[in-house]
Amino acid sequence: MTTYLLAGGGTAGHVNPLLAVADRIRESEPDATLLVLGTKEGLEARLVPDRGYELLTIERLPFPRRPGRAALRFPGRIRAAIADTRAIIRDHRVDVVIGFGGYASAPAYLAAWAQKVPFAIHEANARAGLANRLGARFTEYVGIAFRGTRIRGGQLVGLPLRVEIERLDRYEARREGIRYFGLEEDKPTLLVTGGSSGARRINETISDSITLILGAGWQVIHLTGEFRDAVADPNLPGYLVLRYCDRMELALAVADLALGRAGTGTVAEVTGLGIPAVFVPYASGNGEQRLNAREDVDAGGAVLVADAQFTPGWVGSELVPLLRNRARVADMAVRAATVGTLDGTDRMVALVGRALSGGPARRAD
């Protein structure tokens, strides 16, 4: 019986692939022991126990970006986190560690290396995070979601996706989705989403431009976000405003075009399912969302617009002509499908299997 320790968390971008891999291992190895290493503050604190996995926590350790008290304390704190993780690996007789980035991953990689336990890494973003770049120095089993990701030893596996998306038959599910959302079957559908918390610029621009979009002959599902930046519902025919959608697979099944941020999950889902997109990358951060979208845009499956430029004026001059050009939208769908993959979970699990059979991770450079 194999014992797995999956490390990562903080955001959905780390937690969702972790859970997808854990679920697939549990499905294929019912007798395996699956443990998750995270923090008490991250999204994993809620999602991991809800999915039925044991969560083991260590201290949240953001890497200090500038000199100061936090920088002086960091070496001692990281040593303590590594020691705690080594104890977990020993006490639970962990056979392999799988890291997905985030605060818990760096101590997990270093502890695994010190304990001579093999480990595998999954990097979800086109721009690799600090923890995974560190871990990649100690193992050859590094899976990446995007071809252009620069990380030592990266092997393309794609993004582990929720099983509802991975196994979605869009043609079969479309009829159910039309009924579920109360849409017209003969009209194309634009799916707008800014993620679970919403995106202010996207919400405001779509709300202010909705008559232009409806006038182009499309209907719209607008997911405004659960926590902020929701918009008032004008109750217009063909415009469905929802804060949250618990049947996202049906929303994707009915979407003829998607518009939203370029987070890893969004890009992976639309390309895997062959849905053309308009990406409005999040303006803050280190620019990883623009990089996430690059391959799809280069292939002709998506259009990229900067957050500051996504205005009602842009909708009128660029989006509406695209919506009226159904042939171009159909061509974009074909091109998007050449970029994505839906088997990221199986490919990542296979990489973990190679780590297990290959023995301990290599020595650091």
Query: Closest Cα partner for 160 from 343, 296, 361?
Result: 343
Output b/e per residue, 192-213; b: 16+ Cβ within 10 A: bbbbeebbebbbebbbebbeeb
Give the residue extent of every domain in the chain.
Answer: 3-161+343-358, 164-337
| Residue 72: per-residue pLDDT | 54
| pLDDT reported for residue 78 | 74
Residue 147 CB-half CA count within 13 A? 10
What does the buried/exposed string (b/e) look like for 332-359 if buried means 16 or more CB atoms within 10 Å of the residue's CB? bbebbbebbbbebbbbbbebbbebbeee
Enclosing H/E stretch for 257: strand 257-260
Per-residue pLDDT of the chain (365 residues; tens, 9 = 90+): 899 999 998 777 788 999 999 999 999 999 999 999 998 887 888 889 999 999 998 887 766 566 666 555 656 677 888 999 999 999 999 999 999 998 889 999 999 999 999 999 999 999 999 899 999 999 999 999 998 899 999 999 999 999 999 999 999 999 999 999 999 999 999 999 987 666 889 999 999 999 999 999 999 999 998 666 668 889 999 999 998 888 999 999 999 999 999 999 999 999 999 999 999 998 776 678 999 999 999 999 999 999 999 999 999 999 999 999 999 999 999 999 999 999 999 999 999 999 999 855 444 44
Using the CB atoms, write b or e for 260-269: b if 16+ within 10 Å: bbbbbbbbbb
**Cα-atom radius of gyration of the chain, to the nearest Å?**
21
Which residues, in sequence order, are bridge partners of residue 12? none
Whole-number Å distance between alpha carbons of 30 and 207: 48
pLDDT of residue 363: 44
What pTM does this model have?
Answer: 0.88
What confidence score (pLDDT) does residue 200 get?
86
Q: Encode 9-23: b = buried (16+ Cβ within 10 Å), e = exposed.
A: bbbbbbbbbbbbbbb
What's the confidence (pLDDT) of residue 63? 64
Using alpha carbons only, give the angle 221, 227, 231 rounded to the nearest 5 degrees.
45
164-337, CATH topology level: Rossmann fold (3.40.50)
Hunting for tokens 């990358």 — which residue is that? 281
d(CA 91, CA 220): 53
Predicted pLDDT at 211? 97
Please give the pLDDT value at position 75.
62
The runs of H, that is alpha helices, within the chain are 12-28, 44-50, 69-91, 105-114, 130-135, 163-166, 170-181, 200-215, 248-254, 264-273, 288-299, 312-314, 320-324, 326-337, 344-358
Given its phi and psi angles, is residue 182 left (phi above 0), alpha (psi -120 to 50 degrees) or beta? Answer: left
In angstroms, the Cα distances linking 265 to 14, 17, 96 are 10, 9, 25
3-161+343-358 topology per CATH: Rossmann fold (3.40.50)
| Cα–Cα distance, 14 to 7 (Å, whole number) | 9
* Shared fold status for 3-161+343-358 and 164-337: yes
Report the alpha-carbon distance of residue 146 to residue 282 in Å, rounded.
18
